[in-house]
Amino acid sequence: MSGPQAGEDHSDDMTAGSEAVAIVGLGASGMAATRLALSRGGGSVYVSDLRTDAQTDARATELRELGARVELGAHDVARIAQAGVVVVSPGIAPDTPVLRDLRRRGVRWISEPEYASRFYQGSLIAVTGTNGKTTTAALATHLLEAAEIPVALGGNVGAGLAPAASELALMDPPPRWYVLEVSSFQLADTVDMAPNIGVVTTLAPDHLDRYPDVESYYGDKARLFQNARSDDHWVLNGEVEAVRRLPGQAPGVRCLFAHDPGQVGVDGPAAFVRDGVLTLRWLPAAGADSEEEALVPTGRLPILGRHNVMNALAAALVARVAGAGPEAIRSGLESFPPLPHRMEPVLERDGILWVDDSKATNVEAARSAVESLARPLVVILGGRDKGEDFRPLARALRGRARLVIVYGEAGARLQVELTEAGGAGDPGAHPSVVRIEAGFDPAVHRAAIEAEAGDVVLLSPACSSFDLFSDYRERGRRFAELVREGP
C-alpha cells in the first residue's frame, strides 16, 4: 500500500482501530521510523516531540512535506492512543507524563527496532550488553562483508557509524543479515522481535539513574530471549556468570566465548584464545566431532585491549554461525579499524601513548579499559555522575595507574571513593588521585605534565559527558584536539 501524499491533512484520520502510526520523539530513531511508516505503513502518521529547537523544527518540516502530521511542543495523548501502532523513542524515560498518560489508558507502545524488524526480509543478529556492543556489532558486520555475505548494520550504534534500525527496512535489495545494536531501553519495548542470533557482550550495573535497581536493568536485557526458538543461536560471554544465566530456560544453541578455553565448556560452538591465538570450536557437520579453527594471534588485532579480544571472539563466533568461513574471518579480523572514542589511539609522542576511550561512560567500561593495558597509566576520570559506586575502580587501578586525574560534577565523589577504597594494603601500589576543579581542559593539561615516557594517558571517564559536553563524541574530539596541540 502506498503512504499518504504530501500536503494531505490527516488531522481527523486517527480513529480507533485504524492502522495509523503514532511516533513519540523526533530524534534520529523517530525520524527513521516516520519515514518507514510513511513508506510501508499504509495509514496516517502522527509524530510529536516536546522540543521546538531549530534542528527538531527542520526535521518536522521535512516530515510534513512527506505527509506526516507533526506536532512540536506538546504530545496529543488522545491522538496517540487512537493509533494502531505507537512507537516511542528510547530517550523518553518511562516516567515521563506522556507515557504515564498512555499507560493509564492501557496503551502499549513498542521501540523503533521492534517496529523496524516487522518489515525485515532477512535474518536478524541482535547485539546487546553493558559494554562492547558497538565494536562487536560493527566487527561482526565487517567479518560478514569480508565473506561477501550481504549484511547491513544499524540500531543503537550512534556517532554516525550506522543508521537507525528503520532505515535498514527500506534497503532494496534487502540484505541477507541485519545486524542491530540494541540497548536495554529499546529491548524494554519489544514484543515480537526474534533474533536468529542474539549476542550478550557483558553485564554490569549501568543506567541506575533510570532503573530502580540492577535487576530491572538486567530484566530488560533478558527480553532478547523472549521469542526464542530451538534453532536460534545465543552468543554469550562465558566469563560473566550473569550473562550465562540471562537466557534462563530459553530454547536455542548456547555459543560461549572467553579468553580461557576452560570457561566455555567442552560441547557446542565456542570461541577462545589458545596459545595466544583467537580460536573457534566448530561442528563441521551434524553429528560430526567438533574441530578447532585457528584464526589470528591476538597481537595482530588492530583494536587495543583485552576487552577488544573478547569483542573479536564474539564477532568471529557470530560470523561463523551466520555462514562466514574461517579465511574470511581471519582477513576481517586483521583489517578492522578502531572505532572512534573506543580505545582509539590518538597519537604517541615522546614515548607517551594517548588513548581516547570517551565512550566508557560507566564503571565497568572504565575498569575493563584500565585492566586491558599493560603499560603504566595516567587515567582521566569524570563527568556527570550516573549513580554508580566508583570504588570497584580502585581495585583495577591498583598496581596499574601511576596517577588518576578526576574532574567534573563527579570529581569530588570520585576522589573520595577511590581514595577510601585504595586506603588498605600497600599504599605504594595505589595511585594518587588529583582533583581538577577548573574543567576538562586543565585535566588533560595536568596529564600532559605528569605523564612520562612509557606511559599511556587514558581518557576512560566512567561517567557521562553531559556536565560539560553535548555527548561523549564531543568530549573525545576535545581530548584529541588538546593532545595534538601539545604542551
Domain containing residue 461: CATH number: 3.90.190.20
* Residues 218-246 pLDDT 10s: 999 999 999 999 999 999 999 999 999 99
Within a domain: 4: no
Asked whether residue 169 falls in the same domain as residue 289, the answer is yes
Tell me, yes or no, whether 1 lies in a domain.
no
Burial (0-12, 13-18, 19+ Cβ within 10 Å), 435 = middle
User: Span 47-70, mean pLDDT?
Assistant: 96
Residue where a domain stops, chosen among 108, 125, 158: 108
User: For 308-343, what is each residue's pLDDT tens digit?
Assistant: 999 999 999 999 999 999 999 999 999 999 889 999
Residues 314 and 225 in one domain: yes
Q: Which three cell numbers stand for residue 145?
A: 562483508
Same-domain check for residues 79 and 150: no
Query: Is residue 134 a contact partner of residue 339, using CB atoms and an 8 Å limit?
Result: yes
Considering the domain architecture, whether residues 156 and 36 belong to the same structural domain is answered as: no
Number of domains in the chain: 3
* Claim to verify: residue 213 and residue 297 sit in the same structural domain: yes
* pLDDT of the residue at 232: 98
| Of residues 48, 95, 158, 217, the one with CA closest to residue 465 | 158
Q: How far apart are CA 157 and CA 149, in angstroms?
A: 21
Conformation bin of residue 186: beta by default, left when phi > 0, alpha when psi is -120 to 50: alpha
Does residue 19 carry a pLDDT above 90?
no
Q: What predicted TM-score, i.e. pTM, was given to this entire model?
A: 0.85
What is the 3-state secondary structure of 165-208? HHHHCCCCCCCCEEEEECCHHHHHCCCCCCCCEEEECCCCCCCC
Is position 130 within any domain? Answer: yes
Q: Does residue 159 surpass a pLDDT of 70?
A: no
pLDDT for 287: 67
CA distance 106 to 285: 49
Residue 14 forms part of a structural domain: no
Domain check: are 207 and 61 in the same one? no
Let me know whether 35 and 100 are in one domain. yes
Please tell me whether residues 95 and 142 are part of one structural domain. Answer: no
Domain ranges, residue 25: 21-108
Render 220-244 in DSSP notation, one character per residue: HHGGGGTT--TT-EEEEETT-HHHH
Separation CA 74–CA 64 (nearest Å): 16
Same domain for 271 and 221? yes
pLDDT confidence tier of residue 76, bands split at 50, 70 and 90: very high
Same domain, 66 and 192: no
Residue 15 belongs to some domain of the structure: no
Q: Are 25 and 119 in a shared domain?
A: no
Neighbours of 126 (CB within 10 A): 27
Arithmetic mean of pLDDT over the chain: 92
Structure confidence at residue 253 as a pLDDT band (50, 70, 90) = very high
Q: Is residue 398 part of a domain?
A: yes
CATH of the domain at 314: 3.40.1190.10
The predicted structure's pLDDT at residue 118: 96
User: Which positions ≥6 away from 78 have C-beta within 8 Å?
Assistant: none
Secondary structure of residue 85 in the 3-state scheme: strand
Give the tens place of pLDDT for each residue, 351-405.
999 999 999 999 999 999 999 898 999 999 999 988 899 999 999 999 999 999 9
Query: CATH number, domain at 80?
Result: 3.40.50.720
Last residue of a domain, one of 49, 78, 108: 108
Residue 12 lies in a domain: no
Question: Has residue 373 been placed in a domain?
Answer: yes
pLDDT at residue number 164: 95
Q: Which one of 282, 304, 335 terminates a domain?
A: 335
Residues 386, 422: one domain? yes
The yes-or-no verdict on residue 101 having pLDDT over 90 is yes
Residue 434's Cβ-count burial label (10 Å; 0-12, 13-18, 19+) is middle
